[in-house]
Amino acid sequence: MLISLGWRQFWGVAIALATAFLVLGTPAAQADSLDAYVLRYLDVKEPVPLAIDAQGASRPFSAADLSAGKRLFEGSCKNCHVGGATLPDPLVSLSLETLQKATPPRDNINSLVTYLRQPMSYDGTEESYGCRQVSEKWMDQTEIENLSAFVLRAAQKAPGWGITSF
C-alpha cells in the first residue's frame, strides 16, 4: 500500500526527519546518552568516586562522564586494548593490578593522564612508542580525565577486563 503525499506534506515530513536527525544525531546529543555497558557492568548509576592522585583524593564521575570516556576509548584505544588487554604486549594489560605495579603507578586519574600525555615504558625508564601521545589539541583535560576514569572503573569492575591469557 503506497501513501500518496502532496508536495507540501512531503517537504513537511522531510524537514521533520532532517530536524530529528540534526537534534538526535549530533555529538552533543550522543554525549548526553548513557552507555548500557557503563550502567550494567561498571555499575554506575550514581556518580562514583575515583582516585585522582596518589595521596587518596577522589572525585566523583557520573555515568555520563564514563560513557563519554568509553566512547573516547573505543575511538582511540580499542584497537590495541580490546577488553583491557594490550595486544602489542599481552603481559602488560590494563588490569588494576598491572596499573598499580607500573613505574610510576598508573592507578589514579592524574597518573593515567600524565601517562597518556607522555607515554613511558611500563618500568618508566624510557618513552613508549607503543601508545600514542595524547596532546591537548587531540583531547582536552575533561576528555582525557573521562577516558582515564573509564579505564580505572573498568579495571575495578568489568568482568574479564585486562586478562592476560586468552
Q: For residue 148, is it within any domain?
A: yes
Mean pLDDT over 1-22 rounds to 44
Q: Residue 112 and residue 148: Cα distance in Å, rounded?
A: 6
Residue burial 95-132, b: 16+ Cβ < 10 Å; e: rest: bbebbeebeeebbbbbbbbebbeeebbbeeeeebeebe
Number of domains within the chain: 1
Q: For residue 25, is it within any domain?
A: no
Q: pLDDT digits over 5-14, tens only?
A: 454 554 444 4
Indicate which CATH number applies to the domain containing 82. Answer: 1.10.760.10
Contact 102, 162 (CB under 8 A): no
Q: For residue 12, is it within any domain?
A: no
Q: pLDDT digits over 79-112, tens only?
A: 999 999 998 888 899 999 999 999 999 999 999 9
Q: Residue 135 and residue 160: Cα distance in Å, rounded?
A: 30
| pLDDT score for 20 | 40
| pLDDT score for 166 | 61
Confidence of residue 32 (pLDDT cuts 50, 70, 90): low
Backbone angles phi, psi at 120, to 5 degrees: -125, 160
Range of the domain at 93: 31-157
Q: For 84, which DSSP code?
A: G
Q: For residue 16, is it within any domain?
A: no
Contact 146, 66 (CB under 8 A): yes
Nearest to 166 by CA among 86, 99, 104: 86
Contact 155, 94 (CB under 8 A): yes
Helix (H, G, I), strand (E, B) or coil at 58: strand
Per-chain mean pLDDT for the chain = 85
Q: For residue 102, is it within any domain?
A: yes
Q: pLDDT digits over 103-148, tens only?
A: 999 999 999 999 999 999 999 999 988 888 999 999 999 999 999 9
Q: Residue 165 and residue 130: Cα distance in Å, rounded?
A: 20
Q: What is the pTM of this model?
A: 0.80
Q: For residue 5, is it within any domain?
A: no
**To 5 degrees, how large is the angle CA 58–CA 64–CA 67?**
100
Q: For residue 108, is it within any domain?
A: yes
pLDDT at 17 over 90: no
Q: For residue 13, is it within any domain?
A: no
Residues 6+ apart with CB under 8 A from 154: 42, 84, 94, 161
| pLDDT score for 19 | 39
Start-to-end CA distance of the chain, whole Å, equals 53
